[in-house]
Structure 1
Amino acid sequence: MKDNRTGQRDGNIFKKEMDRRAFLQKTTLAASATIGLSLANSLNLITASAASSASIMNSAGKKPDLVFPVISDIHIHNSSTKTLEKFINTLEQLNMIVPKQDAFLVVGDLTDYGYASEFDKFMSAYNTHKQPGAVSMFAIGNHDYWNGLSAADAQKRFLAKTGMESIRYHKVIKGYHFIILGTEDGLTEGTFSAEQINWLGEQLKIAHEDDWKKPIFVFHHQPIKGTVYGSEWGFNQNRDLFYNTLKEYPQVISFSGHTHYPLDDPRIIHQKDFTSIGTSTGAYLWLDAGRIQGEVPEGADVLNQALIVEVHNNKVLIRRRDIHHNDWTGEPFEINYPANKRKFSYTEDRDNKAPFFTKDAMLSINHEMTTATGMAIMFTQAKDDLLVHDYKVVARHANSEEVVKEFLAFSEFYKDPVPNPLTLTIEGLQANTAYQIEVHALDAYGNVCKKPLRALGKTKTMAAANPV
């Protein structure tokens, strides 16, 4: 089980991680390390929660008025079964943990190219596993247009294959309003016309006048720029008109897909004038640019996540599910009603606490992986109240203290379990040269630790690195 607040991990991490003796044998211990402490204390481990197998109905302690899963970016592929198998696993797992669904939402990119065969695969799997009492609501995404058809014909295919009444529609379920929007063409960033946004405004007014104290759920594939984690991939055209239309209704919860950014990051939910939340993916992971692991890191196709939304008479709970890990990730998001902007919890300025390394944290040089031009470092992961997102690694010449290398690396928070210690490689160094290495921890909101880890290391000679 992953806990973003403390970084604590399952007890089975012992099976995957190096014990302290092996760590010390392979590395040069940083001066700040405390040798006598145990690895268990260093990593601050806890046992797994039983929540992975618990029904969502029972885990809350009280049955909600309304409950529905939200998924997106399934990307069913014409010539591959991998995403189809993941989709089936998602449906089966959600049926176990949410046995009585009132609705089921998919926020776009049901398919990879919008081919008829892809829709057929999607609907066959869905119809086999769907709950008869759940209202099916699907939004069209940009990938659902990538079939060579005109936008109008691609929309006709989407509607014919999924049974949706339109690419935009408004439904009321148990007294709660659901408004689904459709991106209007295959542009990656998305297109929402002024005409559709004006229609959205009319539907919001209807929902508000029906009961202003209740949440209004809005679904659209691409995110609004400047909101959730990954919203740099959102749309520009009519962005402000879209935002300002929602801005009038603080009770709105807007769900978007498209980014493939993971639910583990606390910025996946955003509150300012209303609530926005990203829905991750059932296909493959995508991440921020500028880290050495890349935007699509190794093992990205493992990721498969979902949201489960519980609606109570005075609050909405949004739970994050790692389908691929069969467990919850992080704490549920809780949104109280009637909505009040001044009492929003998930604002951009909500986290001013910097991450930190514990007293027994170690930074060491892995000599077995060090070469004449590269140095491998291993270190204990830092801790944070929400999430350690990145590490800034700095390599200085030991004598001159000149910075010769500096880069950002993900904490690999998106993995299950998160690797601890974390191993990173510093490339582009000179042979037979001593370097002072610094590791600074950064959280999701850019707060930087006050005390970095430091260690002294040396690259190998060319002869040692390339023995005859």
Structure 2
Amino acid sequence: MSKIVKNPLKLPVSLMAILFGLTLLTFPHNAAAISPGNGPPVNSPGNGPPSNPGNGPPSNPGNGPPENVPGIPGEDPELVFPVISDTQIGRETISKYNDLEKFEESLNQLDKLVPNQDALVFLGDLTEHGSADQYNYAMDIYDENKQDGIESLFAIGNHEYDNDLSPEESQERFLAKTGMDSLYYHEVINDYDFVVLGEEDYGYYSKEQIKWLDERLSKAEERDSEKPIFVFSHWPLENTTYGSEWNLSPNGDLLYETLEKYPQVIFFAGHTHYPISDPRSIHQKDFTSVNTGSVNYMWTEDGYLQGELPPGHEEISNGLVVEAYDDEVVIKRRGFHGDDWVGDPWVIETPVESTDDFNYTSDRDNENPYFEKGSAATINEDKTTSSELFVEFDQASDNLLVHSYQVTATDKRSDETVTEYKAFSEYYKKTVPEKLEFPIEELEPDTEYEINITAIDAFGNTSDESLTTVAKTSEGD
């Protein structure tokens, strides 16, 4: 595939800011750093208990399967298409992991991996502010690197409205620049139904659009009741996939009630930037919901030591490849940042006879993570001070994914817990580290502490045993 000759992001930062109308702040794909949508509910992510990514045994912490991830041996899919989202072209000017390079890299990898695409679906936030320049740069990349003859399906995202235009003007620009005929639409590709939703303002889907969706779904079911129906939205629905605390509102409940009448629906959503390596990125209850991740950068839940934008978040770039066969749909997860697959493919059997047959439910995992024999926690003596200790330990293992650790420090004299926090296992990285090192801060001089580390998986299961070590702070001055 041909490459574009110019690299606009090589321009000086000041000029780029003028061209793109940029803000250099590091919030997610929303108007405010604290809220990527309508804000999380009080009890936050609604897909069940705390997290569980499984990075596998320490000898191979979660780099995913080999390069050639299989579908069905000996069979060609009836339909194949990538799903990507959230490139936010125009956001970044100072990182070496810049927007345009990541977008182009994702398309190049998809071309190599899927040489005969039937369609490519983009789920919104193509640009940072919906400016004409940002669209031009984005579509130059897309047009130069897409495969010939494919169906291009673009959805509008909230960032396309993040400008001084009226909603109607933002929509007109989106349609003109992407070549879409309408904001929301229904296509049949290789005898499979694709229904693309389009927000009509920031995070808003009207009752009229949802009524239209119901009519489209009914027609698709009448046409072929045994095939899956693919539905695409920039926003996720509450209490579905990982990250769905940033969900659609208002009319989110109405949209859910519409979709739940059709268990054969596979509903893809972007917006959250949550990493697809977490197994909760697919969820089945009344229908199937799938998180697409983000091409641009990663965002994740708060309340952890590394923060919502952990170190290295700007490197993480994710997308999906979907294959449809006559009796199943295979969804493969891609880490563009590592040029590798992420975890095992998700397989959805079709036709859907009953929701009782769903495998990817919120209660699907009851296995506890565990520390391998010989695992230990030690103190980095070179970093010990009168108020701080650093604990290093071997990562745990899990049947799916080790998501995080509970770290506690107890004063040996008083038996009181003085430090307690959760920290990510860094499961989202290209190479998951076999060991981690975390700080224990705000301690008293010349005091002995017991430090305990418990592993937690994505579904909230905790290790039966903890790693424990005892250490003493220095005397100080």
Spell out, residue by residue over 1:34-77, the C-alpha distance to the aligned partner (whole angstroms, 9 max, x if none): xxxxxxxxx3349988832x4x6888542100000000001100
User: Aligned letter for 1:368?
Assistant: D
Q: Quick check: 1:307–1:321 contact (8 Å CA) kept in 2?
A: yes
Q: Is 1:89 equivalent to 2:117 in the alignment?
A: no
2:438 paired with 1:414: no
Cα deviation code 1:253-277 (max 9, x no counterpart):
0000000000100000000000000
Q: Relative to total residues, which structure has the larger helix share, 1 or 2?
A: 1
Equivalent residue for 1:135?
A: 151
Change (3 A) 1:222 1:60: farther
Q: Percent identity?
A: 47
Identify which of structures 1 and 2 has the higher relative contact order when contacts are C-alpha pairs closer than 8 Å and 6+ apart: 2
Show CA shifts across 1:324-378 (max 9, x none): 1011110000000111211100000001111111121110111112222111000
Q: Work out the CA distance in 2 between the residues paired with 1:394 and 1:433.
A: 15
Partner in structure 2 of residue 168 of structure 1: 184
Moved more, 72-81 or 441-450: 72-81
CA distance, structure 2, for counterparts of residue 77 and residue 141 of structure 1: 14
Letter in 2 for 1:358: E
Q: Which amino acid aligns with 1:44?
A: S
Tell me how large the CA RMSD over aligned residues is: 1.7
The alignment status of 1:442 with 2:456, answered yes or no, reads: yes
Is the 1:401–1:436 Cα contact (8 Å) retained in structure 2?
A: no
Distance, in Å, in 2 between the alignment partners of 1:46 and 1:420 is: 7
Match for residue 368 of structure 1 among 382, 385, 393 = 382
Residue in structure 1 matching 2:247, options 209, 234, 250: 234
Shift of 1:420: 1.6
Partner of 2:341: 328
Letter aligned with residue 166 of structure 1: S
AA aligned to 2:317 is N
TM-score normalised per structure 2: 0.86
**CA contact 1:282–1:305 (8 Å) conserved in 2:** yes
The CA distance in 2 between the partners of 1:310 and 1:180, in whole Å, is 18
Question: Could you state the TM-score of these two structures normalised by the residue count of structure 1?
Answer: 0.87
Does the Cα contact within 8 Å between 1:78 and 1:118 map onto a contact in 2? Answer: no
Aligned length in residues: 421
**Is the aligned partner of 1:432 residue 2:457?**
no
Is 1:461 the counterpart of 2:475? The answer is: yes
Q: CA deviation at 1:427?
A: 1.3
Task: Look up the SS of the partner of 1:324 in the other structure.
Answer: helix
User: Structure 1 residue 5: deviation in Å?
Assistant: 5.3
> Are 1:51 and 1:59, in contact at CA under 8 Å, matched by a contact in 2?
no
The 4+ residue runs of structure 1 with deviation greater than 6 A are 46-50, 56-59
Residues 181-192 of structure 1 mapped to structure 2, 5 A cutoff = 181-186=197-202, 190-192=203-205
Task: Give the equivalent residue in structure 2 for 1:11.
Answer: none
Q: 1:369 & 1:272 partners in 2: Cα distance?
A: 48
1:157 paired to 2:206: no
| 1:291-319 CA-partner distances (Å, limit 9, x unpaired) | 01000011110011110000000000000
> Would the alpha carbon gap of residues 120 and 320 (structure 1) be closer, same or farther in structure 2, given more than 3 Å must change?
same
Which amino acid counterpart does residue 218 of structure 1 have in structure 2?
V
Aligned to 1:224: 237
CA distance in 1, matches of 2:183, 2:235: 14
1:7 aligns with 2:56: yes
Q: Kindly provide the CA deviation profile for residues 387-444 of structure 1, in whole angstroms up to 9, marking residues without a partner as x.
A: 1111000100112221111101001101121112111111111111110000011000
Q: Decide whether the 8 Å contact of 1:393 with 1:437 is kept in 2.
A: yes
Amino acid at match of 2:66: A
- Listed as ranges, the gaps of 5+ residues in structure 1 are 9-42, 464-468
Matched, 1:277 2:290: yes
* Aligned positions of 1:42-441 closer than 5 A: 43-45=58-60, 51-52=66-67, 54=68, 60-77=73-90, 80=93, 82-186=98-202, 190-339=203-352, 340-441=354-455
CA distance 1:266–1:78, shift in 2 (3 Å)? closer
Q: What is the alpha-carbon distance in structure 2 between the residues aligned to residue 236 and residue 461 of structure 1?
A: 55
SS where residue 309 of structure 1 aligns?
A: strand
- Equivalent pair of 1:57/1:63 in contact (CA under 8 Å): no
Q: CA deviation at 1:239?
A: 1.6
When residues 367 and 85 of structure 1 are mapped into structure 2, their CA distance, relative to the original with a 3 A threshold, is: same
Gaps of 5+ in 2: 1-52
